[in-house]
């Protein structure tokens, strides 16, 4: 039995912002055009958006079709000159929605509109995010959440292996002018710019051998044949822990890229954001093992440590260089993530911990040029920010 069709504007609370009201009205228009009949949305709930994007949960108040009770609407502002998060979000969802439902680890795309810069997505509900598990008090639940994330990442890679041509075709159909991988653009910028930044900001010289290792790492990232879809962001706020496992959200930098670069996020936890605490000893290794168990059937060579571990170190270096390049120029001793409480670790401590872990893993593979480079950066960070820079607290769940 269909719901009564009701014409008119969406029902939006009086205290809703104009941006939310406009996003809901645009979504209602897109859905009505998509299904060929009036659909009315109501009761928007602001879910918070990255940057200036608007993200709301809406109730489907009236429809002649069988639609879910609630949907999620994301609307984007005009694109910047060098990249378009809306294009990557839309194309990512198109690629992933085409997967069989039992293999899909992301919300289904219900509708989108290029002119309105809007996507309408399946609502995965109010399941806790991985961040909620890590910031809670249950160590077992946090551990299960992290391992579920690692397994889900591996399954996502295995089910989207080699989809470069499909992704690129969807990008061209989108009419986007920025088909370049935004992460690859930034990785190249970090390769070129970080040595000079380290010298200016910390008086640390990058040796020729360290530069050559970094250049080889970038080359491996670009030319890798082990490629699959990557959500791009590793932030624990973007992973829902559902009864069916972790589900991924937010693909504003989504692209098909080197899978080991994603795997390095398990060794450098959540390197794309600045809300990271520390993990217990052995946790990263357990997550990497979980990921490898999922991708081994597609890339059996990654079962060989002699193949996998050197490439993992290269990807780890890229993440550390990238996060240092993004943060160092404006780093302070007390600057914290803007969406965490006052007890969140300072960014200087998070950054130092990434260099400490890089140094440890480089030493285990006897890569002396990276050990020496990391030693110099760590010493300079400690000199500037004090001994506390090396003391990254564990996530609250593990304390």
| pLDDT tens per residue across all 399 residues of the chain | 233 333 345 565 556 788 899 999 999 999 999 888 899 999 999 987 666 789 999 999 988 878 889 999 999 988 766 678 899 999 999 999 999 999 999 999 999 999 999 999 999 998 999 999 999 999 999 999 999 999 999 999 999 998 999 999 998 888 765 568 889 999 999 999 999 999 999 999 999 999 999 999 999 999 999 999 999 888 899 999 998 899 999 998 999 999 999 999 999 989 988 888 999 999 999 999 999 999 999 999 999 999 999 999 999 999 999 999 999 988 765 565 555 555 678 999 999 999 999 999 999 999 999 999 999 999 999 999 988 888 999 999 999
Same domain, 220 and 283: yes
Residues 6+ apart with CB under 8 A from 42: 10, 11, 12, 58, 59, 61
The whole-number pLDDT of residue 8 equals 46
What local confidence, expressed as pLDDT, does residue 174 receive?
Answer: 80
Tokens of 396: 């609250």
The confidence score (pLDDT) of residue 272 equals 87
How far is it, in rounded angstroms, from Cα 389 to Cα 347?
9
**Residues 85 and 181 reside in one and the same domain:** no
Statement to judge: residues 102 and 135 lie in one domain: no
Residues 225 and 311 in one domain: yes
Q: Is residue 12 part of a domain?
A: no
84 with 178: CB under 8 angstroms?
yes
Catalogue the E-assigned strands of the chain.
40-46, 54-62, 70-75, 109-113, 118-122, 227-230, 239-242, 245-248, 255-258
Per DSSP, the three-state class of 265 is helix
Residues 298 and 360 in one domain: yes
pLDDT of residue 7: 36
Identify whether residues 139 and 159 lie together within a single domain. yes
Check whether residue 162 and residue 42 sit in a common domain: no
Report how many domains make up the chain.
Answer: 2
């Amino acid at each position: 039995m269909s719901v009564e069709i009701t014409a008119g504007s969406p029902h939006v609370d009086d205290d809703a912002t104009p941006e939310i009201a406009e996003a809901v009205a645009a979504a209602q228009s897109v859905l009505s055009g998509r299904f060929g009949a009036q659909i009315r949305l109501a009761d928007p709930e602001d879910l918070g958006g990255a940057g200036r994007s608007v993200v709301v949960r809406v109730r489907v108040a009236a429809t002649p079709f069988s639609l879910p009770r609630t949907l999620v609407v994301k609307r984007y502002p005009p694109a910047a000159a060098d990249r378009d998060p809306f294009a990557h979000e839309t194309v990512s969802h198109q690629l992933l929605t085409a997967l069989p439902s039992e293999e899909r680890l992301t919300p289904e795309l219900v509708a989108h509109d290029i002119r309105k810069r809007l996507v309408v997505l399946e609502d995965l509900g109010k399941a806790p995010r991985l961040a909620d598990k890590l910031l809670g008090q249950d160590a077992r639940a946090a551990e299960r959440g992290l391992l579920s994330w690692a397994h889900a990442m591996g399954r996502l890679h295995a089910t989207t292996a080699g989809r470069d041509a499909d992704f690129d075709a969807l990008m061209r159909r989108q009419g986007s002018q920025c088909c370049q991988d935004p992460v690859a653009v930034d990785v190249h910028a970090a390769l070129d710019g970080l040595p000079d930044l380290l010298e200016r900001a910390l008086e640390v010289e990058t040796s020729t051998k360290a530069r050559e290792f970094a250049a080889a790492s970038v080359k491996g990232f670009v030319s890798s044949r082990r490629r699959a879809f990557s959500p791009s962001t590793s932030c624990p706020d973007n992973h829902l822990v559902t009864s069916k496992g972790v589900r991924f959200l937010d693909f504003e930098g989504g692209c098909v890229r080197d899978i080991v670069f994603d795997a390095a996020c398990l060794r450098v936890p959540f390197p794309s954001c600045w809300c990271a605490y520390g993990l217990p000893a052995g946790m990263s290794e357990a997550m990497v093992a979980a990921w490898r168990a999922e991708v081994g059937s597609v890339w059996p060579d990654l079962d060989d440590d002699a193949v996998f571990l050197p490439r993992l170190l290269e990807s780890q270096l890229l993440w550390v260089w990238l996060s240092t390049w993004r943060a160092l120029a404006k780093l302070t001793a007390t600057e914290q993530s803007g969406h965490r409480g006052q007890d969140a670790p300072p960014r200087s401590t998070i950054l130092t911990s990434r260099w400490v872990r890089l140094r440890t893993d480089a030493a285990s593979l006897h890569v002396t040029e990276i050990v020496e480079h990391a030693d110099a950066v760590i010493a300079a960070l400690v000199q500037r920010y004090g001994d506390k820079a090396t003391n990254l607290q564990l996530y609250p769940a593990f304390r």
